[in-house]
Amino acid sequence: MNYKLLDYYWIILDGSRIGFYNLLDAKYELLLKLDNKIIQNIFLALNQPFEFKDFPEKEQLIIRKILKQYHNYFEEITYEKLVEERLKHRRIDDFIETNHHAFSINIQGIKALLKETINNTSYCFITNSNLFNLDLFLGYSTKQINFDSLNLDTVDSVDTTFIVDSQSLTENQLADFEKYCVTHNVIRMYVKEDKESIVIGPTLIGEEFGCLFCGEQSTIHLYHIKGESTFTSLVNSLVFTELLKIGRKVISALIDDNTITKGKYMKISKYNLEAEEYEVNANVTCKLCDCVFN
Ligand SMILES: [Zn+2]
């Protein structure tokens, strides 16, 4: 049989106490005084989705007792769900391995934050050319949608993070989308690839860095000849490395900004792979922001 800890909990060792931390209420729901290190470690192992045969027989007995006593915090899952959940946790572990130094909270806190982010964030890829390779992003909740099919009235603007293929949208579509984003505090990342270069970013957060029409430099996404986009594996993997970082709570918890797109963008030449980084800033004379806020 396979089990997982419910989506909104994380088990934390706090001194000599084991706590069931509620990710939504951001507080412990249950604290158990436990001095036995072996039992403590078993509790912590149950953060990962599991099947009984993952554990030695002695531990299986203890786990059965835990499941019986704290059944409100766990659910039985199918094998398919187990595989899916394991992938999510692998995403979290891989992310922590390379990014833990960018946070001021401890590893357990980062894991809790990432679990909440990966479970709650819906990544919406806006493109009229369907060139994102969503197979790469397994483990995340993703969808690819044509701009005309996107109904912004039904979007959960807090928990949706957008990745926009700017090349495939018209300037009017980008302007409509930006008006919505700056007024609804939306997180969106722009991506573009053409024959010569890849542009990854900027990631804009509501009006924090202005809109796509603000900075002169952001015009890189606007004033170009609209044509066929070509998304290579490089652009997809650059998007992949940014995905968890631009989740709403993660991006604000990063004390060391190790993103390549938060309030900035990177232009990479496809001839020699030389990369240049540019910052973007709100512009007080921006016509789009002016008509939205005044
Ligand atoms: Zn603007």
| Whole-complex ipTM | 0.99
Rounded to whole angstroms, how far apart are CA atoms 229 and 167? 6
The sign of the torsion formed by the CA atoms of 250, 245, 180, 207 equals: positive
For residues 195-215, give the mean pLDDT: 92
Tell me the pLDDT tens digit for each residue of 14-66.
999 999 999 989 899 999 999 999 999 999 999 999 999 999 999 999 999 99
CB 212 within 8 A of CB 176: no
**Distance (Å) from CA 132 to ligand 1 centroid:** 27
Ligand 1 center–CA 166 separation, angstroms? 16
Distance (Å) from CA 280 to ligand 1 centroid? 11
Nearest to 90 by CA among 113, 121, 115: 115
Count of domains in the chain? 2
Task: Give the three-state DSSP class for 244.
Answer: coil
Q: Measure the CA–CA gap between 158 and 139, rounded to whole angstroms.
A: 20
Q: Are residues 145 and 226 in the same domain?
A: yes
Distance 75 CA to ligand 1 centre (A): 47
Alpha carbon distance 160, 186 (integer Å): 8
Asked whether residue 92 is domain-assigned, the answer is no
Q: How confident is the model at residue 224 (pLDDT cuts 50, 70, 90)?
A: low
CA distance 259 to 201: 10
- Confidence label for 77 from pLDDT (cuts 50, 70 and 90): very high
Mean pLDDT of 125-149: 90
* 222 against 294, higher pLDDT: 222
Distance 174 CA to ligand 1 centre (A): 12
Q: How far apart are CA 223 and CA 158, in angstroms?
A: 29
- Please give the backbone phi and psi of residue 92, each rounded to the nearest 5 degrees, phi first: -65, -50
Interval between CA 198 and ligand 1 midpoint (Å): 23
For residue 290, the model assigns a pLDDT of: 79
Query: Can you give the residue range of the structural domain that contains 47?
Result: 2-82
Where are the extended beta strands (E) located within the chain?
2-5, 9-14, 17-22, 27-33, 50-51, 74-77, 122-126, 141-145, 160-165, 187-193, 197-205, 264-269, 275-279
Are residue 173 and residue 283 in the same domain, yes or no? Answer: yes
The CATH number given to whatever domain includes residue 170 is: 3.40.50.720
* pLDDT score, position 129: 79
Using CA atoms, how far residue 250 sits from 112, 157, 178, 254, 264, in Å, is: 11, 16, 22, 6, 17
Q: What residue ranges in 194-228 does DSSP mark as E strands?
A: 197-205
With respect to residue 106, please indicate whether it lies within any of the assigned structural domains. Answer: no
| CATH code for position 6 | 3.90.930
Task: Decide if 206 contacts 181 (C-beta within 8 A).
Answer: yes
What's 262's DSSP letter?
A: B
Task: Please check whether residues 30 and 176 belong to one and the same domain.
Answer: no
Task: Specify the pLDDT at position 276.
Answer: 94
Domain assignment of residue 108, yes or no: no
Q: How much distance in Å is there from the Cα of 256 to the middle of ligand 1? A: 26
Tell me, in angstroms, the distance from the centre of ligand 1 to residue 179's CA.
9
Task: Examine residue 102 and state whether it is found in any structural domain, yes or no.
Answer: no
Same domain, 155 and 266: yes
Q: How far is the CA of 290 from the centre of ligand 1 (A)?
A: 7
Q: What is the pLDDT of residue 291?
A: 73
Residue list, CB under 5 A from ion ligand 1: 210-211, 213-214, 286, 288-289
Kindly state the tokens that stand for 232: 């290579």
Residue 226 has pLDDT above 80, yes or no: no
> Residue 211 Cα, ligand 1 centroid: separation in angstroms?
4
